[in-house]
Structure 1
Amino acid sequence: MGDHACGSCSGKDCSGPSEEEKILQANLARIKNKIVVLSGKGGVGKSTVAVNLAQALAMAGKKTGLLDVDVHGPSVPRLLSLSGERPRVDADRMEPINAGPNLWVMSLGFLLPSNREAVIWRGPVKMGMIKQFLRDVRWGDLDFLVVDCPPGTGDEPLSVLQLLGPEAKALIVTTPQGVAVDDVRRSVTFCADVGNPVLGIVENMSGHICSKCGEVDDVFGSGGGEALARETGVPFLGRIPLDAEVVRAGDEGFAFLRVHQEGPTAQAMNRIIKPILAMAEASGETGKE
């Protein structure tokens, strides 16, 4: 039989990890906390939550990476006014795009020739892209890596969680209405099935704040996300109201929390981020590069 693990290696020893796997694991070992933003439902503001979470962590002095793995609709470049940016490639490694102090971003959107380009890929190609972004991007030492996934429980979130490993935590976003909660419930089950803990559920667009009188109108109802958290036994991180300023920030290409520190929406976001920041204190500070 010889010393080889199988009969199809043409004399090569396949008993240990490949060189590419070693590079991937070395890259991931430099990242203290990994947060994957998920939702079983589209249109719940998941990318907006991911962008503002990453921005808030960076503003708190934490070295933060933001990885957009939405293959068919990468929106992070637009949300941060980075459309048209191209990463520098050197010796088969890529430099993430700097989006301000302590914040680095990577997205397939940076690699497409135009924002009109349709990406028609099957699962294995998506898996390869995500692995390349985790292995070949020079993330360096990070306190946090925030990964923005497309909606659902398909190839992209599955690939991300499998590659990041069981220490990666999911942040699940929903809106209050029942049709969204029904779909998002599957995200909680998905995380349990793949063996990753749920950091918590965020109820987005939870009540509309009138810009004139300040009254709150529950356009989509209220409490669906909190009820789902109780039902599934995972933490409820809080509610974010539907705010026209959040919409304007996204359209104009900046994170809401970068310019809004006061008001009910900023306060709601900061309450959600506070326990996440505590993760960095628990895991210790990153080393110097």
Structure 2
Amino acid sequence: MGDCNSCPSNSKCSTSKKEECGIKNNPLNHVKHVIGVMSGKGGVGKSTVSVMLAKSLVKQGYKVGIMDADITGPSVPRLLGIEDKRATVMEQGIVPYILKDGLKVISLNLLIEEENKPVIWRGPMIGKMVQQFWTDVIWEDLDYLVIDMPPGTGDVALTIMQMIPLEGIVMVSVPQDMISMIVAKAINMTKAMNVDVLGVIENMSYIQCPDCSKKIRLFEGDVDKFLKEHDLPLFGEIPMHKDIIKMPHTLEELPDEIREIFENIGTNVVNAVEK
């Protein structure tokens, strides 16, 4: 077991749990809150939400890091516009890339020469890599570490829940009944692993008419029923918008109404954590 004093869950652990805990920690790091961003399947905008959540927390004045744990599909560097940058490997550990606003980033694509090179690894090796992103990266002092988790409920998601002290999960979904069913599986997985789901973000929720501002909902899905069934709050509804699709690297590049949605999501996550 690593140093319990550097573990975000230290104050919540009983003595017996500490003795059984499989979580290892880096004594150089002091991370207050670890938040996972998860989806039941790929293609729902999980990585975009992860990046914008991290950015909104930075704007609120928090010290923030983002871990790209989607090892086989790492997109965080490109979403942040740093795909040509690299993290630094030292004897003491891995130094994440730091943006001008202070956001610290680690991703497999910041450690390899070509971002297009496929990762042909089996599950255990991928899980080990994610674990090293927690134990070997020198995060130092962070208020929030946002983890962009791989889609689904497979080996890597299981490793993160077992080996990293998650304070909670933010679930990303889209308004379709089929996707809601898959997201429900992910929610039930977190419950089985004793990890709290803090709330849900609905992406691709609607298109807003540029002329009359009416919200046009393309997909059929009863989000209110879904939230009620799982007793979860809705942190925000993100519309389908061309400026989001263009992969903006900062919140400031977004229209005011879209930027406010992401800022409100960040505030809702902080309130849920501090509750």
**TM-score with structure 1 length normalisation?**
0.82
The answer on 1:276 being equivalent to 2:269 is: yes
Residue 241 in structure 1 maps to residue 239 in structure 2: yes
Report the Cα offset of residue 211 of structure 1: 3.5
May I ask how many residue pairs the two structures share in their alignment? Answer: 256
- CA deviations over 1:154-173 (Å, ceiling 9, x no partner): 122111111123x5200000
Rounded Cα–Cα distance in structure 1 between residues aligned with 2:82 and 2:195: 31
Amino acid aligned to 1:105: V
3-state secondary structure, aligned to 1:113? coil
* Distance in 2 separating the partners of 1:143 and 1:234: 24
Deviation at 1:25, TM superposition (A): 5.1
Greater radius of gyration (CA): 1
Q: Residue 114 of structure 2 aligns with which residue?
A: 114
| Alpha-carbon distance between aligned partners in 1 of 2:200 and 2:155, rounded to the nearest angstrom | 21
Distance 1:99 1:170 in 2: 25
Find the partner of 1:262 among 236, 243, 256. 256
Closer, same or farther: CA 200–240 of 1 in aligned 2, 3 Å: same
Q: Is the 8 A contact 2:44 2:172 kept in 1?
A: yes
Q: Structure 2 matches for 1:2-41, cutoff 5 A? A: 24=25, 26=27, 30-41=30-41
SS of equivalent to 1:190: helix
C-alpha RMSD of matched pairs (Å): 2.3
Give 1:57's aligned residue: 57
Shift of 1:179: 1.5
TM-score by length of 2: 0.86
Higher deviation after alignment, 106-115 or 174-183: 106-115
Bigger drift between 214-223 and 55-64 goes to 214-223
Q: Which residue of 2 aligns with 1:163?
A: 163
1:213 Cα deviation (Å)? Answer: 4.2
**Is this contact kept in 2: 1:176–1:223, CA < 8 A?**
yes
Residue of structure 1 in register with 2:43 after alignment:
43
Distance in 2, Cα, partners of 1:214 & 1:98: 38
Deviation readout 1:112-166 (Å, 9 max, x if unpaired): 221221111112111210111111111011000000012101122111111123x
Measured after TM superposition, the shift of residue 210 of structure 1 is 3.0
What stretches of structure 1 move > 6 A for 4+ residues in a row? none
> Displacement, 1:239?
1.2
Q: Which runs of 5+ in 2 are unaligned?
A: 1-17
Q: Deviations over 1:153-199 (max 9, x none)?
A: 1122111111123x520000000011111111111101001110011
The answer to whether the aligner puts 1:101 opposite 2:101 as a matched pair is yes
Is the contact made by 1:36 and 1:149 (CA closer than 8 Å) also made in structure 2?
yes
Matches of 2:75 and 2:264, distance apart in 1: 25
Query: Displacement of 1:44 after TM fit?
Result: 0.7
CA contact (8 A) 1:58 1:64 kept: yes
User: How far apart are residue 223 of structure 1 and its match?
Assistant: 4.0
**Closer, same or farther in 2 for the Cα pair 1:189/1:65, shift >3 Å?**
same
Match of residue 83 from structure 1: 83
Uncovered stretches (5+) of structure 1, i.e. residues with no partner: 1-15, 284-289
Q: Is the 8 A contact 1:206 1:222 kept in 2?
A: no
Q: Please state how far the C-alpha of 1:21 moved relative to its aligned partner.
A: 6.9
- Displacement of 1:100 in angstroms is 2.5
Query: In 2, distance between residues paired with 1:230 and 1:267?
Result: 25
Question: What residue is the counterpart of 2:9 in the other structure?
Answer: none
Offset from partner CA, 1:17-41 (integer Å, 9 cap, x none): 9xx976x25356x111110000002
Correspondence 1:124 to 2:133 = no
